Structure 1
Amino acid sequence: MISGQDWPLRSADEIVKFFEKHSGVNFVQYWDSKNHGNHKQNNLDKRNQIYFPIKFIGPKPWQKIIKRGWVELTGGYNRTWKIFERKQLGVDFYFGSQWWALTGETVEWIINYLGQHEDYYIFYKNTVCPDESFFQTLVMRSPYADKKTDYLTYLHFSEGANSPDILRASDFPQAKESGCLVMRKVDMDVDDFFVSR
């Protein structure tokens, strides 16, 4: 799973050989948010705990304001009043980076599961940042839950930032040495180093 702002750190041949060497391994980050937060609810739990009308979810300023107001009304990020808790799926939710590489076996299991559990897909339509929970939770429900390592994307977050930094030529050597397969984000309008490579 990559985006249009990812940049390869290895040749196509090296990437193929990497996955051949690690056949059967899922590269996906995940954690159980309540365990990660010492059994206390946090803002990751909130993403799936209340119903978010689709019109509230989006990048427009008015959407962000209404969504924040809705979160506060329902108890804030670190708790939820019982009256606002939506009916849950009866599964343990997991969260992590949306950048992953899954085996064919795992993907096939996920497709079959979704074919038999339409309620799972429908549930996530009214959550926030579903790409950071949807697949992580499915992998942990699958028979391949223990076949996991971290993700393969090099990122850098400035302190307190919600989105990763735009990387430049000066970041390339460190990204290359990280062992990751791709780096993000890059923007050719910000640094033309990537145009000439």
Structure 2
Amino acid sequence: MKTAILILAHKNVWQLEKLVRRLSETFDIYIHADRKWKLDMNLFSTYPNVHFVKRHEVHWGSHLQIDATLELYTAAWKKQYDYYLLISGQDLPIKSNDQILDFITQNKELNFVNFEPLPRADWADQNGGFDRIDYYHGIHFEARDLGMLRRKLYTALRKFQRSVGIKRKLYPVQYYGGWNWININNDAMNQIFKYLHENPNFLNTFKYTESGDELWVQTILANCITNIESDSLRYTEWEKKTAHPNVLQMKDLDRVMASKDLFARKFDEQIDKDVIEKIYELTSGTPSSVHEDDGKTLNSA
């Protein structure tokens, strides 16, 4: 299986290099490095199958995350891989490369993408997700100087829109949402680009929205294919009413390694380096072990 791993990275050079070192032994790697990050890309020049794409200045939750993701999709799609996995630079594989490849090979006809139709019950505080795209959100400007003024103006604009019942005109399609870390085969990636070609105005729906990166791919795929499982294959822990997942640490190791997922997120070398080292140690060359779970083949740690 010719597989590409696509990485959205914005911090922690040591952590990214360890991730690349492990995964590039088996997979081709494509990296989008946030333009705000002063990263010396020459540090990765010794990896012949690691490719950097055009860099965008990304702000969390803005439509610029879609632009960065599309750079990765486009670069890898040109090579027509059998399978594509999108991860964060703060993800860690919690299975060996062989186990990940074995899982992909045995499930090559399936796509694993967390998705639900809007309105999602767990996004009830955002009108099921529609508040993200019904109103203008800017691009999360910095909380200082002119950026602060712009944020205040967009906040006032949203309040005005709600008060008078004005909503943005959305593209006429059933919307779906979920986590943006996807695992798809080439047929599904072809469908993404086919849909974008046939619907050139579709992405305009997500300009100046909030967290539209968790909507656009799900909406395309759920409307175009049926061989899709609502599962991101990412182990994540959340506190209630938080926008970001917990940073996993040594105290979480047993739960992480007991997971049947392929990756876990998120980790931070500045908070707990030891857990990163330990997981790489535990997953180095681990033999593949397969069992059945709910009708699909999964690998066990």
Amino acid at match of 2:114: Q
Amino acid at match of 1:166: V
Amino acid at match of 2:258: E
CA deviation after TM superposition for structure 1 residue 176, in Å: 1.6
- TM-score normalised by L of structure 1: 0.84
* Pair 189,152 (structure 1): closer, same or farther in 2 beyond 3 Å: same
1:118-197 matched pairs, under 5 angstroms:
118-142=200-224, 144-193=225-274, 194-195=276-277, 197=280
Once residues 196 and 231 of structure 2 are traced to their aligned partners in structure 1, the CA distance between those partners, rounded to angstroms, is: 24
CA deviation after TM superposition for structure 1 residue 48, in Å: 1.3
* Pair 156,16 (structure 1): closer, same or farther in 2 beyond 3 Å: same
- TM-score normalised by L of structure 2: 0.57
Q: 1:49 is matched with which residue?
A: 134
Higher relative contact order (CA 8 A, sep 6+): 1
* Pair 96,121 (structure 1): closer, same or farther in 2 beyond 3 Å: same
Amino acid at match of 1:140: A
CA deviation after TM superposition for structure 1 residue 22, in Å: 1.1
Once residues 142 and 105 of structure 2 are traced to their aligned partners in structure 1, the CA distance between those partners, rounded to angstroms, is: 43
Match of 2:156, SS state, is helix
Amino acid at match of 1:24: E
1:1-197 matched pairs, under 5 angstroms:
1-34=86-119, 36=121, 42=127, 44-52=129-137, 56-58=138-140, 60-61=142-143, 62=148, 64-75=151-162, 81-82=164-165, 84-142=166-224, 144-193=225-274, 194-195=276-277, 197=280
Instruction: Provide, for residues 31-82 of structure 1, a one-character-per-residue CA deviation record: whole Å limited to 9, x for no partner.
Output: 1222637x99805101111344xxx22252225544443333322xxxx743
Which runs of 5 or more residues in structure 1 are unaligned? none
CA deviation after TM superposition for structure 1 residue 105, in Å: 0.5
Once residues 115 and 130 of structure 2 are traced to their aligned partners in structure 1, the CA distance between those partners, rounded to angstroms, is: 13
Moved over 6 A (4+): none
Once residues 121 and 101 of structure 2 are traced to their aligned partners in structure 1, the CA distance between those partners, rounded to angstroms, is: 33
Match of 1:74, SS state, is helix
Amino acid at match of 2:127: N
Once residues 36 and 5 of structure 1 are traced to their aligned partners in structure 2, the CA distance between those partners, rounded to angstroms, is: 28
* Pair 167,125 (structure 1): closer, same or farther in 2 beyond 3 Å: same
CA deviation after TM superposition for structure 1 residue 12, in Å: 0.9
Match of 1:102, SS state, is strand
CA deviation after TM superposition for structure 1 residue 112, in Å: 1.3
Amino acid at match of 1:14: Q
Amino acid at match of 1:149: S
Alpha-carbon contact 1:34-1:40 (below 8 Å) kept: no
Alpha-carbon contact 1:57-1:67 (below 8 Å) kept: no
Identity of aligned residues (%): 24
Once residues 125 and 246 of structure 2 are traced to their aligned partners in structure 1, the CA distance between those partners, rounded to angstroms, is: 29
Alpha-carbon contact 2:136-2:157 (below 8 Å) kept: no
Once residues 91 and 26 of structure 1 are traced to their aligned partners in structure 2, the CA distance between those partners, rounded to angstroms, is: 21
* Pair 180,116 (structure 1): closer, same or farther in 2 beyond 3 Å: same
Match of 2:232, SS state, is coil
More strand by share: 2
Which runs of 5 or more residues in structure 2 are unaligned? 1-85, 281-301
* Pair 65,183 (structure 1): closer, same or farther in 2 beyond 3 Å: farther
